[in-house]
Structure 1
Amino acid sequence: MDCMCSKKRRPRGDGDMYLPRDRHGHNSVVPRLPSKKKLSSGITRCDPAPWHPERHFCESDSAPLRINDRVVWVSDHGPEYGTVRWLGHLHDTSEDLMVGVEFDNQVGTGTGKYRDRQLFEAQLGHASLIPLLGLLKADDYLGEQAPVDYGNSCFYTSHIDRRLKLPASSHFQEFYEDKQKHGGSSRGLPQPTSDAVNHVNPLYEKRQALNAQAEAKVSGERRQTSEKGNCTTNNYVSVLGETDADVVELCGVNRGIQGHHNSCYLDATLFAMFSCTNLFDDILNRARDPDSDIPQYEKIQEVLRDDIVNTLRRDRYVPSKNVMKLRQLLDDLGCVSGLTTEEKDPEEFLNSLFHALSVKPFLKLSSQQETHLYQLFVAKNEKLEIPTVQQLFHQSIYECKLKFQRAPKALIIQMPRCGKQFKLYDHIVPSLKLDITDALEDAYRFCYVCGRQATLECWECFRPEVGLECTSYCDSCSKTVHQHKDRTDHKQEPLLIKDSLRMDAPLRREVMDLFAVVCIETSHYVCFVKCPVKNKHTWCFFDSMADREGGEDGHNIPKVDNYIDADTWFGPKGLDKLSEMIRDDKSKILPGMTRRLLSDAYMCMYENKFVKQYE
């Protein structure tokens, strides 16, 4: 096995496999579960979760684990937590259902590659393959709440009742009994009856009691915190919109952040950054550094975290007085004047906030500059009647001759416009996926012609309607392409790849996901935010001043709406539909929310979920 697990090989045998190491470097072997069953016909090596006619279940539908589930594997030195990245079979090893796990700690030795195939992607040294029966779901494992010094054998017994629930059928029972005859593990099976199990029951009962005490203590702490009214870092509040029911609860009148005294620039930005994503939560929880942080650091952080973010996530509503506290604190710093009363732009607020909280820049550019925001500087291209953010991003990289030194966890892109006065394009379609592969220094690139690894870059081959992809070639294709009379004078540069990347980095495209769009119309900012409902494309629209009550002496009423047309207008179908409306001069009759999304986009926010895990 290549890269996936420990390189200290055990003697080859039927169904040999390599398992993760504990953090002390020792291999810890979970018994293999052999089977006499033959492979189903037509199943090839490394199949991800195939259908098994003889067992009457499809592992992708009925397996107890799913991709991205959190799991625990226990070594001789304690539990190791990880995330499921792959499920399937290794048919040159055994018929057991295998789980590709990306561990939080460095207990593997690879990046997710098995022999010559990249099964999944993981940080170097964190990937391992483990039999299904060698894992527990993290939610079922209570080890973190009440650490107890217990023997290695106790773990398997003390967690039998919280095991993974495997498909129940006569065929599976036969499969299990077949394994038992050959010395397989009894972990995860209905009723433990061995002497070893009975012997450790007293320890198991003691552990259960300790876990119950720990749960009671944690619950008590949460009640006390809740009674105080303000959330703290010890009582994490989940983001909004994680389920359909949560989205329904989020939407409505008096939802979101209440606007007051020209605060919409701040309201929309904060809602976009914190309501439905935890991408920026490290800003809320970093302890103050007395050597570098300002004296007001803790107060500003506390107001942002407790009075705004956690209040929003807990109550789904933040009164304007809470936001005014933050505006006053930032205004007192003097970096940007008029934050409590005047109209401002989101970047002015963000620059002030990031400076006050010493937030490290998200972007490191090839020009050696560092920045939190990326402004699209582009000349208008008449060939792009309705550009996408992807096209404008590539054009900006090309025209500025810049690259990113590394993939960022967050990318906040400012559209090519200046407030409400100037818009380079009447319509811009936000790209749901932003491919930044060709904007990275020292990253693997793909040949535009054949798709193999690129070795050369030609800036002069750039075409705005195609993007940066058409600037990278392998040696062979570059030679062919540049034989054309229009390209014989092009200057090509070799792509420099760091040696550390050549060895283990998987050939994959670096793609970021859109999670928020801040828009402006007649000096008023609103935002669209993606709700993290699993396997759904759900967006909501937020306006901190959707209505008003009481005239001049009254107050604004914030509102959150479900943007039900998201599937219609995001992506290629929306672009085609918009192009047709523009040709027929019907673009002015776009639905209200859609018009604001496509005509008034001011700032698009993207996240890199892969990088986010490690920063």
Structure 2
Amino acid sequence: MEQERDTDDFLMYFILMEKVPVGNRTMEPGKLCYMSEESYLQRVSGDHNPTQSLNVHFLEEGAMVEVDVNVLHPLMRRQAALLLAITNPTERLSCFLERGLLDQAVKAEVGQRVLVEHEHKLYPAFIHYVGNFLDSSALLPPIYFGVELEGEGEGRGKIDGTYRGVTFFKCKQNSGLLLPFNKVIFSGAAPSDSLGSPSVQTRALNPVNQGDKVSFFVDDKLKRGLVIFNKMADGYVEVLPEDSTSSTLMKIPLDSIVKEEITSGRAPGAASMFREQKSPNDGKLKEELLARNLEVDSLVQIQYKEGEMAYGIIRWLGYLPQIEDAMAGVELEEDKGCTDGCWQGRRYFCCGPKRGIFVKLKACQPDTRFLASKDCEPKSLEVEGHNREEGYRIPGKVPPLTGSSAVDILQGDMKGIQGHCNSCYMDAALFSLFSCSSALDSLLFKPASHPDKEIQRTLREEIVNPLRKIGYVSADSVMMLRHQLMQESQCPSFTTSEKDPEEFLNLITQRILRADPLLKLQSRDQGVQECYCYQIFIEKQQEMTVPNVQQLLEQSFHHSHLKLAEVPSCFIIQMPRFGKDYKMFSKIVPSLELDVTDLLLDNPRECIVCGQLAVYECSDCFKDDLLSQQGLKQYCALCCQQAHSHRKRKHHMPLPLRIPDSFLQSQGTGKIPRETLELFAVLCIETSHYVSFVKYGVEKGSWMFFDSMADRYGSENGYNIPRVSLCPEVATYLASPLKDLVNQNPREMKGVAKRLFCDAYMYMYQSKRMALYK
């Protein structure tokens, strides 16, 4: 008996190739539609003339439209489901026209290794899941790929395989993503590795791999060495000579080397086993480590190539097969390496691709840049009772700086937090949150257990307290915190790579210090959601050329159907920009005061017409500026009736507001209280570098600007100079009429004001009243 077919097996899917007018709107190219197989056959068969149009249903709109058959291209069901995961029709059509990527996506399956595009970078990944994660009851559920980021991408994801309470797969914490197929590269091989290519032919003729021992002649003298870089596609390898006392590599042509085989009478692998069983704490290695003042996690520099220095962190110490000398596995600051921590197929440590290198321990020297940052700082930074060897550990509770004391302690060079090794995201975030605000001080003193207690102590006594008391935090104090975060998060790149500020804040508040969520958001569909930062999502509107933060927040809450379940003590808001390159608005005006009264759930609100107690809210009136310029609109019963008697608003559906009984009993129709938050810091980004603006006093001009890498002392052996400068010019532009800001050329703005208005990444607001309850 023939197996019964599913209902949607009888459906035919199409992608729209050209615009189609439908009444007063247009169906854009890239839209997906369908019709039943039976209707299609009836339409194209029969005695009448061949059909010129088809009655199709559009998947996303649900509308049935008669469409010219020539602008429709048929799709297999799986193709349509994959394309449906791409929400932008233009991008969807472009991906369809490429076809090669779509064909690969159709064949992709769980267990496949891929590359994924995330945060404008490519990361290696592993497919754990292929399918839908939204509404499985939909006629055509879109297909996504659930992947686990690996290597440098580890820890840079969003989930651990669970989304909205449903587990689709399991992976490491914050290493999973659910992506449409256009964010995935399914072919792991580069074009040059195709069959018959020079690189493949070279490997076949001369199979030399990383870690192999080789012999070669230099000036008629036979030498031996170890292959470090495999450049066979270019006709050579880079070798570390056995007699070398540094880490300088030699470039040797392939036709000049001979691979050495193990000719010892021992059983295969015996030498390897003997070497690997040696402990990193054996006598010889221990003596060398003590002599060089090095250990795992030490910052080192290596004479990489002639005239070139490389810097990194020791991740592993010990012995490698077939090598007599003690070796170090180093994670480099830049992509100058040849491994991700593996040697001859075995993993010794983890790092990003091309970030790792194995060198002789005797070739490693302490990073002189880092030493200089401690030895060459001005004498004025010496604090009684705190010498440099011990670091600036200041116990107790030190209040945040305000007014003239903030200027006296913080202003100048070698002030703020010293930058080092891609730390600017953390430096700017810490300075913003703690220099002049106590919004998150509860994190510093809440009960914690080991090892969280040690991270909390480092944050409090070696970063926040020194910043507030002496106005300076050295790079080694921040590096200590980064080491601790690296160990707790199990993310090996935390001490070398740049991260996103929100990633750092979520890690330290949620996963480590386990603080209560800063925000409680009430969603129309999902109930209360808790989070620590809020990302603004809106559709760009032509009339909003230079918006302020208040407008953007109201637009975003309206767009996402959100309300605040309670007044937050600290409200951290990310601007509508994507990565470090694309930003939705060329300028954004900081709102010094953020009024959240109308964003609160179950909170008394004013009628926008008469000012009395509002009892209705109308979401449909949001963009109607005839009655009021503000976005959110609520009315008393009488004004609501009058406003919606207009023919343009008769179809609106106002919803009743819930008014707290306590307010009705105590005040009734009295004055409606306003709930406001004050801006205390803005974190900005320009060309991958984060800086900070901080409001340090009540006066309009009380603004200071912080850059952890504002200047540098010396060249490669020097150190970064952090700087805090006053920027009262910011107040001048904040007081300017909007039309002047719209026409203002950013390059002509005085001082650093341009960076505040044009490069804002994250705004930080506080409610001092609510902070008393935290």
Tell me which interval the TM-score lies in, with the shorter structure as reference length: 0.5 to 0.7
Residue equivalent to 1:459: 619
The answer as to whether partners of 2:410 and 2:471 remain within 8 angstroms in 1 is yes
- Range that drifts further, 479-488 or 505-514: 505-514
- Equivalent residue for 2:590, pick from 423, 430, 454: 430
What is the identity percentage for the equivalent residue pairs of Structure 1 and Structure 2?
Answer: 43
Give secondary structure in 1 for the equivalent of 2:590. coil
Give secondary structure in 1 for the equivalent of 2:658. coil
- Equivalent residue for 1:316, pick from 471, 490, 493: 471
Q: RMSD of the TM alignment (CA)? A: 2.2
The answer as to whether partners of 2:555 and 2:631 remain within 8 angstroms in 1 is no
The CA deviation at 1:468 is 5.6
Distance 2:492 2:681 in 1: 27
Distance 1:504 1:224 in 2: 56
- Equivalent residue for 2:768, pick from 587, 595, 609: 609
Which AA in structure 2 matches 1:255?
A: K
Give secondary structure in 2 for the equivalent of 1:378. coil
The answer as to whether partners of 1:394 and 1:467 remain within 8 angstroms in 2 is no
- Equivalent residue for 2:400, pick from 239, 242, 259: 239
1:274-309 Cα deviation digits (max 9, x unpaired): 000111111101122xxxx5x311100000000000
- Range that drifts further, 586-595 or 422-431: 586-595
Give secondary structure in 1 for the equivalent of 2:648. coil
The answer as to whether partners of 2:727 and 2:751 remain within 8 angstroms in 1 is no
- Equivalent residue for 2:641, pick from 479, 492, 495: 479
The answer as to whether partners of 1:254 and 1:317 remain within 8 angstroms in 2 is yes
- When residues 594 and 333 of structure 1 are mapped into structure 2, their CA distance, relative to the original with a 3 A threshold, is same
The CA deviation at 1:577 is 2.5
- When residues 246 and 388 of structure 1 are mapped into structure 2, their CA distance, relative to the original with a 3 A threshold, is closer
Q: What TM-score, normalized by structure 1, do the two folds share?
A: 0.59
- When residues 464 and 287 of structure 1 are mapped into structure 2, their CA distance, relative to the original with a 3 A threshold, is farther
Distance 1:502 1:535 in 2: 37
Give secondary structure in 2 for the equivalent of 1:265. helix
The answer as to whether partners of 2:729 and 2:751 remain within 8 angstroms in 1 is no
Residue equivalent to 1:569: 733
Distance 2:405 2:519 in 1: 36
Greater relative CO (CA pairs within 8 A, separation 6+): 1
1:332 aligned onto 2:491:
no
- Equivalent residue for 2:444, pick from 252, 264, 284: 284
The CA deviation at 1:593 is 0.9
- Range that drifts further, 336-345 or 379-388: 336-345
The CA deviation at 1:336 is 4.5
1:502-531 Cα deviation digits (max 9, x unpaired): 334762111110000000000000000010
Give secondary structure in 2 for the equivalent of 1:331. helix
Which AA in structure 1 matches 2:675?
A: E
Unaligned runs of at least 5 residues, structure 2: 1-382
- When residues 608 and 323 of structure 1 are mapped into structure 2, their CA distance, relative to the original with a 3 A threshold, is same
Give secondary structure in 1 for the equivalent of 2:646. coil
Question: Which residues of 2 match residues 140-539 of structure 1 at below 5 A?
Answer: 230-233=393-396, 236-240=397-401, 242-244=402-404, 246-288=406-448, 295-334=450-489, 336-354=491-509, 355-367=511-523, 368-463=528-623, 470-504=632-666, 507-532=672-697, 534-535=698-699, 537-539=701-703
Give secondary structure in 2 for the equivalent of 1:333. helix
Distance 1:464 1:313 in 2: 48
Q: Considering only CA atoms, is the larger Rg found in Structure 1 or Structure 2?
A: 2
Which AA in structure 1 matches 2:499?
A: K
The answer as to whether partners of 2:680 and 2:694 remain within 8 angstroms in 1 is yes
1:80-106 Cα deviation digits (max 9, x unpaired): xxxxxxxxxxxxxxxxxxxxxxxxxxx
Which AA in structure 2 matches 1:547?
A: D
Give secondary structure in 2 for the equivalent of 1:407. coil
- When residues 306 and 504 of structure 1 are mapped into structure 2, their CA distance, relative to the original with a 3 A threshold, is farther
Distance 1:430 1:370 in 2: 25
The CA deviation at 1:497 is 1.7
Higher-strand-fraction structure: 2
- When residues 470 and 413 of structure 1 are mapped into structure 2, their CA distance, relative to the original with a 3 A threshold, is closer
1:162-218 Cα deviation digits (max 9, x unpaired): xxxxxxxxxxxxxxxxxxxxxxxxxxxxxxxxxxxxxxxxxxxxxxxxxxxxxxxxx
The answer as to whether partners of 2:588 and 2:757 remain within 8 angstroms in 1 is yes
The CA deviation at 1:310 is 0.2
- When residues 334 and 256 of structure 1 are mapped into structure 2, their CA distance, relative to the original with a 3 A threshold, is same
Distance 1:452 1:336 in 2: 54
Unaligned runs of at least 5 residues, structure 1: 1-222
The answer as to whether partners of 1:515 and 1:530 remain within 8 angstroms in 2 is yes
The answer as to whether partners of 1:336 and 1:348 remain within 8 angstroms in 2 is no
- Corresponding pairs, count: 379
The answer as to whether partners of 1:395 and 1:464 remain within 8 angstroms in 2 is no
Q: What TM-score, normalized by structure 2, do the two folds share?
A: 0.47
The answer as to whether partners of 2:409 and 2:469 remain within 8 angstroms in 1 is no
Residue equivalent to 1:41: none
Residue equivalent to 2:720: 556
Residue equivalent to 1:50: none
- When residues 252 and 225 of structure 1 are mapped into structure 2, their CA distance, relative to the original with a 3 A threshold, is closer
The CA deviation at 1:591 is 2.8
Distance 1:461 1:385 in 2: 21
The CA deviation at 1:469 is 5.4
- When residues 260 and 483 of structure 1 are mapped into structure 2, their CA distance, relative to the original with a 3 A threshold, is same
1:431-452 Cα deviation digits (max 9, x unpaired): 1011111110000111011111
- When residues 265 and 303 of structure 1 are mapped into structure 2, their CA distance, relative to the original with a 3 A threshold, is same
Give secondary structure in 2 for the equivalent of 1:403. strand
Which AA in structure 2 matches 1:428?
A: I
- When residues 541 and 224 of structure 1 are mapped into structure 2, their CA distance, relative to the original with a 3 A threshold, is closer
Distance 2:457 2:415 in 1: 22
The CA deviation at 1:225 is 8.7
The CA deviation at 1:232 is 2.1
- When residues 410 and 457 of structure 1 are mapped into structure 2, their CA distance, relative to the original with a 3 A threshold, is same
Distance 1:463 1:406 in 2: 25
Distance 2:584 2:631 in 1: 24
Residue equivalent to 2:758: 599
Distance 2:674 2:682 in 1: 23
The answer as to whether partners of 2:623 and 2:631 remain within 8 angstroms in 1 is no
1:465-520 Cα deviation digits (max 9, x unpaired): 76765420001111111111110000010001232343347621111100000000
- When residues 337 and 448 of structure 1 are mapped into structure 2, their CA distance, relative to the original with a 3 A threshold, is farther
Give secondary structure in 2 for the equivalent of 1:553. coil
